[in-house]
Every structure is written in C-alpha cells, then in structure tokens.
Amino acid sequence: MTRTLFTGGKVFDGTGSPTAEADVVVENDRIVDVGTGLDGDVVVDATGHTVLPGLFDCHVHLMFGTPDLVHSLNTPFSLPFYEAIGNMRLTLECGITTVRDALGADLGVAEAVRRKLVAGPRMQIAINMVSQTGGHNDDWMACGAHVASIPPHPGRPNTVADGPEELRKVIRELVRAGADVIKIASSGGVMSPRSNPRHAHFRDDEIAMIVQEAAAAGIAVMSHAMSADGILTAVRNGVRSIEHGVFLDDRGIEEMLARGTWLVPTLMAPRMLLEQAAAGVPVSEVVLAKAHVVAAQHAESFRSAVDAGVKIAMGTDSGVGPHGDNLNELTLMARNGMKPAQALHATTLSAAELLGVDNELGTLAPGKRADVVLVEGDAEQHVVDGTLRQAIRAVYQDGVRVI
C-alpha cells in the first residue's frame, strides 16, 4: 500500500483542538496516522499551509442556479441534470467534499457520484420538500397555473400534502425514491410568493407523523423553518435540524438546547437573492420585500443561537445564488458571533455529526476517510478576511486528489 505523507503544515483536525504543526498519513482511502515525525512513500509538502478535513455544506441545491422563474420556464427539462455536474465541480473547488442536497437532486444524481461517473461531493438527498397546501413548496401561482422550477417526475414525487395520512404516504414515496433525509417546510418562505415566512405550517400531529415515518425508515427530518412558531412545532416533534431559523426566539432556543436540535442558518440565502436582484435578475416585488425583512432579522437570531450554545452546522442554500461562493457562509458566521475556529468546526465535525457520518468523516483522525483540504496560509484568518476560497490549493476525496 502507498503511504501518502502530508508534512510541514499546520493541522486543523476538526476535533476542537487548536491548529498545530503535525503530519497526516493516508493509505488508500483512509487516514492511518496524525502526529509528528511520520513517514510516507509519497510526500505532499504542506509547508505554509493549513491541512483541514474535507468540508461540509448541509444545505445546497445542486440542480438550481438562479431564482429567475422565467429562465426556469425556458430551460429544457433535462438541462439542470447536466448543469449539476458543473455545480458539483464548483462545490468541490471550495474544499466541500460532502453535501446535503435539500431539494432538487434525485437518486440518479447521487448515484452518478457514488458510481464515480462524475466528480462531485458525496451527498445525502432530500429529493423534494414536503409542504402543506399553500406552503413553501406549493407551486400554485395567483394566475391559477402550477409553475415549478423542477417539475415532478418519476424520480421526484409531488410532495404537497395535508393531514397525517396523506403525509404518511408522501414520506413513504420519498423513501422509495431514495431519500436519505426528509425535508419539510414548517413555515412559509421567501421565494414562494403565496406563503408568509412568519406563519407556521403543519400542525403537531402532521409533523409527528412525518418524523415517525422517517424514523421507521432510519432517516432524519430537516425543516425549513423561519417563523418562531414553525420552529417550535418542528423541534418539539423531533426534527433533527432547523434550516434558516430566521425568527428564532428564546422559546425556540430553549427547546433546541433541550432536544439537541441543530441549526443550519444559511446566512447567505437572503443576501444571495438581494445581490442577484441588484444585478438585474428578475425577482418579484413580493419576494424581494420578504428577502429584505428576513435579511434584517437573520443575523440577530443567529447571534442569539451562538451565544446560547445551540449546535450549528454550516449550510448555504447555494442554488438560490451561485455555486462556488459557499465559503462566504463561514465569514458571515464569523462576523456574526462565531470565532473562526467555531465556524470551521461547523463545517467539519458538527456537520458530520448532524448528517450522522462522524464515524467516517469530519475530522483528521486514524480510521477516517481521507478527505483532506490544503489551504495556503492561516485558514482561520482566511475565514475572517473572506478569502478562504481563494486560498484552497488542493482537495482530496477518499485519498484521491480531485482538485
């Protein structure tokens, strides 16, 4: 077996230990040793670099690339599957070797990566988002037409449902289609013109049924939840993570702490939408107004969650805006209450724990998969400066250099 030695650099191992000088040794697809004075057959000189575990983004949409609905209406059905190949490449270039696709990618996209037909981050897929009638994933428009960015197809079942029994069937259909995680919308959202992000969606008996059915299949539930009540209902009924959490209040924080629920804040999401609107991308006035309200509140609730000690994992909502800017989320986290090392922890071990893969990924430790990222200079300082993406020099996935 060939031993590859990463030597001369400083290691951020993801465990919470401070960055320190160390070597990392990889054999085939596994890390076999981390320490000083190690040897190897092939030497990678990491002098002047920080060595990181492969990073995570826990909320992406690899099949999306713009909020422009007119553009989507004029896009051939199969084209986003091919565009996803480029989006996955851009994600890898950020040092992100694992993602959770929160709506869009189906089993075929995930399998293409698993079978190494295309290069991309390993992924967990939600396939579609479960929504109540009139909720965040109901594509009914005021004109009476149904207009979806990606319409339902054999690999992506329709997921608008009401009442526990309808929802039971929908969850089973998603599991049948290959979902690794169930995503619901327990509040309205920004980009759905007929929903209000301050309103809670689904009742306790509905979310309880969703969580029960997901648990029976051995998978977790993530909840798009912006409103305080929507967050609280989701958390008390057992969802594993709250996505966005814009109007998170003290009651919600207390419940999340009691139940060990993660927050995936996606601070980038409203900002990406506003930036694209400013650049001339057509965005409806209704959606734009909601984005302004959400952006103003988002950082405040995030700071409260950080101060209280809520578990946080990094997610961006990339696909609402451009792919490849994912690491800007770490800088926003650092500028809104997190220390740089905390932000890096949120995209390494904490994220791996959320996705249930911390036995394989998330840290540089013997026995773990050899996902390794080389960053020129001080990674923590790059988080502060917003220059981490530009400093990435190499990305390894399962011991193979992919970037």
Residues 267-276: b if buried by 16+ CB within 10 A, e if exposed: bbbbbbbbeb
Q: What is the pLDDT of residue 10?
A: 98
CB 127 within 8 A of CB 102: no
> Could you tell me the pLDDT band of residue 131, with boundaries at 50, 70 and 90?
very high
> Could you tell me the pLDDT band of residue 145, with boundaries at 50, 70 and 90?
confident
Q: CA distances (Å), 13 to each of 20, 50, 115, in order?
A: 9, 10, 28
CA-based nearest residue to 215, from 234, 238, 233: 238
Q: Which amino acid, residue 238?
A: G
Q: CA distances (Å), 133 to each of 184, 194, 195, 202, in order?
A: 12, 10, 10, 10
pLDDT of residue 68 exceeding 80, the answer is no
Q: What is the pLDDT of residue 276?
A: 83
pLDDT of residue 119 exceeding 80, the answer is yes
* Enclosing H/E stretch for 92: helix 79-92
Average pLDDT over residues 126-147: 89
Cα angle 182, 188, 194 (rounded to 5 degrees) comes to 120
Structure tokens at 209: 């049924």
Q: What is the pLDDT of residue 290?
A: 84
Rg from Cα positions in the chain? 20
For the chain, domains (ranges, CATH) are: 3-53+361-401 (2.30.40.10), 55-326 (3.20.20.140)
CB 204 within 8 A of CB 237: yes
**How does pLDDT run across 259-298, given as a tens digit for each residue?**
999 999 999 998 988 888 888 888 788 888 888 888 889 9
Q: What is the pLDDT of residue 34?
A: 97
**How does pLDDT run across 182-214, given as a tens digit for each residue?**
999 999 998 887 889 999 999 999 999 999 999
d(CA 39, CA 36): 9
Lowest-pLDDT choice from 152-156, 189-193, 387-391: 189-193
Q: What is the pLDDT of residue 285?
A: 82
* Enclosing H/E stretch for 43: strand 42-45
**How does pLDDT run across 302-347, given as a tens digit for each residue?**
999 999 999 999 999 999 989 999 999 999 999 999 999 999 999 9
Average pLDDT over residues 158-185: 98
pLDDT of residue 148 exceeding 80, the answer is no
Written as one string, the DSSP assignment of 169-219 is: HHHHHHHHHT-SEEEEESB--SS-TT--TTSB-S-HHHHHHHHHHHHHTT-
Q: What is the pLDDT of residue 86?
A: 97
Q: What is the pLDDT of residue 75?
A: 87
Instruction: Say what percent of the chain tops pLDDT 70.
Output: 100
Beta bridge partners of 223: 184, 242
**How does pLDDT run across 31-65, given as a tens digit for each residue?**
999 999 999 999 999 999 999 999 999 999 999 97
Q: Residue 169 CB: number of other CB atoms within 10 A?
A: 12
pLDDT of residue 92 exceeding 80, the answer is yes
> Could you tell me the pLDDT band of residue 162, with boundaries at 50, 70 and 90?
very high
Question: Greater confidence, 275 or 91?
Answer: 91
Beta bridge partners of 124: 100
> Could you tell me the pLDDT band of residue 74, with boundaries at 50, 70 and 90?
confident
CA-based nearest residue to 172, from 133, 214, 142, 209: 214
3-state secondary structure of 19: coil
Q: Which amino acid, residue 288?
A: L
